Structure 1
């Protein structure tokens, strides 16, 4: 281009000098063609990369536009790049968006630093937690004015507990049968009063979830075992079965006063005696069994004494026979002694 300008400067009139004009045109087009051929690969590379990136961006925008718009209209505070990031981290964006929308509509704290943020939802999803179950539980707890934040609910969920069921049980207490036929196969508890009468009792325990003790707290089986033990102990301390039949509430008062829900995932609301039946007279049966046992012992002792007497009798008979044989032997020696005396002249014939 510099040579072209110099040619233009040195030529006063291009119209009068056709040779110079032709030289100028030839050199100019040659230089322009050289510049154009030198820029083509770079320009095409830039355009190709830009087009490829544009296609990718348009693909992700077209794919997640509806989700982002739904979150935007619901004031869920989810950025479009967050949805694209979920695609590469294998997080289901539909679950996260739905959870965030529900949280925003329920007026929960969705602050990015302290509330139910998108990052926290992604982390809980990647940890294998049930995001929707946690959000439903937090919303239910929020409506019932039960203190439950996202971290606590997520920890309960990752611990393997059903956090939604726990919140629902805290709002609507559940009833546990004691004993539970599905667990032990028994329908009643058997206890014996001091006068030996068996009482068969069926109790119903009303409990609600203690969310603070849900992680690490004992389960329903412990509640059933503790209540059953307390009922049996309370009936066993009663003087007669009439006292229990007349005042069944004495059992519930004693049981409730023991604090059986300590270190468990539940709080005992009430214990109700559903049914009391009089069973067998265990005391009389035990006395009968004892008398029969005493009879068998006395009979055995008498048999032993009889056997000893028979043995002693046989021993005496043996001694009599022995003495008799000795007497016979002694009698046999008398003639012999007399003969020897005659021979010796110690005895004279009369």
Structure 2
């Protein structure tokens, strides 16, 4: 009985050890590699486990590479994986480039992948060019009319410039700049509307793909519309600004005139006050002269008659001015 129990325990331990060993050693993956003609040792797979590299991430792309006729070493694939690259995408890109007869080495593909670009998409774009549509670009011709244009740029990936080359945003910005320059140099917006190809030809001749990761194949103007009359609007704004400046200056002159008028009124009031003050001194002086005998009573009465005569004449002149003013009003009515 004890022998039977010992046998079962031994079988259980062996089964557990075998399970752990098979989970650590990718035996099935090694058999698949041998069946595909890929020469890779079992100890290499165990080493990948120890280096924390999933063997399937290396072996499966390696099988595809061998079947496609590519010569790629296991160490290069493993190094690329450890550097943070996508091994499967790089192998797919190399296979696509080989089928399209595009010269692309593993080192170049790995560098493009590590630079953050999709190397497989770049190879596909080299075979099938991509169309980039720019947003609506507004520009003003010399006659002041706004022209709105939208372009479609057909580009092909330049694999040699994918590392360090500018992206699609630069292409869109340069094309927009070229549209603004071309429309701005046109004498009339009508010439742009009549011949929109002049925009694409001028922009294409500028070599806008220099320093970018793409090669521009064509630039086509998809839509051209007439916008606002910017020249007239600017003239209107300038006239409004001139009017406001003139109004401000007129207001300044009016304020100065009012201040001057107030100053003159103050001076007149001051002079009237002095006259009243002087007139108040006249009776005192006359009474003093009478006491001292410098003037007589008849002299005083003669002076009073002269003053009364002067006041009467002033009243008559003011009455005549009022009547003449009333006559003028009647005539105007």
Q: Name the TM-score class by shorter chain.
A: 0.7 to 0.9
Change (3 A) 1:194 1:64: closer
> Contact (CA 8 Å) 1:67, 1:94: kept in 2 or not?
no
> Contact (CA 8 Å) 1:193, 1:240: kept in 2 or not?
yes
Name the CA distance, whole Å, in 2 between partners of 1:294 and 1:64.
85
Secondary structure of the structure 2 residue equivalent to 1:306: helix
Q: How many residues align?
A: 278
Q: Deviations over 1:6-49 (max 9, x none)?
A: xxxxxxxxxxxxxxxxxxxxxxxxxxxxxxxxxxxxxxxxxxxx
The corresponding residue for 2:34 is: 69
The corresponding residue for 1:122 is: 78
Q: How does 1:93-242 map to 2 (within 5 A)?
A: 93-108=55-70, 110=71, 116-179=72-135, 188-242=136-190
Change (3 A) 1:62 1:146: closer
Name the CA distance, whole Å, in 2 between partners of 1:95 and 1:343.
138
> Contact (CA 8 Å) 2:155, 2:214: kept in 1 or not?
yes
> Contact (CA 8 Å) 2:125, 2:156: kept in 1 or not?
yes
Secondary structure of the structure 2 residue equivalent to 1:161: coil
Q: Structure 2: which 5+ runs fail to align?
A: 1-16, 299-333
Secondary structure of the structure 2 residue equivalent to 1:235: helix
* Displacement of 1:328: 1.8
- Is 1:327 paired with 2:275? yes
Change (3 A) 1:68 1:335: closer
Q: Deviations over 1:209-248 (max 9, x none)?
A: 1111212221111211121122112212222111211221
Secondary structure of the structure 2 residue equivalent to 1:277: strand
* Displacement of 1:296: 2.2
Secondary structure of the structure 2 residue equivalent to 1:199: strand
Change (3 A) 1:343 1:261: same
Q: Structure 1: which 5+ runs fail to align?
A: 1-51, 111-115, 180-187
Q: Deviations over 1:173-202 (max 9, x none)?
A: 1011112xxxxxxxx111111211111111
> Contact (CA 8 Å) 1:202, 1:276: kept in 2 or not?
yes
Change (3 A) 1:284 1:300: same
Change (3 A) 1:218 1:348: same
> Contact (CA 8 Å) 1:64, 1:80: kept in 2 or not?
no
* Displacement of 1:62: 5.8
Name the CA distance, whole Å, in 2 between partners of 1:203 and 1:226.
12
Change (3 A) 1:62 1:152: closer
Name the CA distance, whole Å, in 1 between partners of 2:222 and 2:125.
21
Give the alignment's TM-score, normalised by structure 2. Answer: 0.75
Q: How does 1:226-305 map to 2 (within 5 A)?
A: 226-305=174-253
RMSD: 2.6
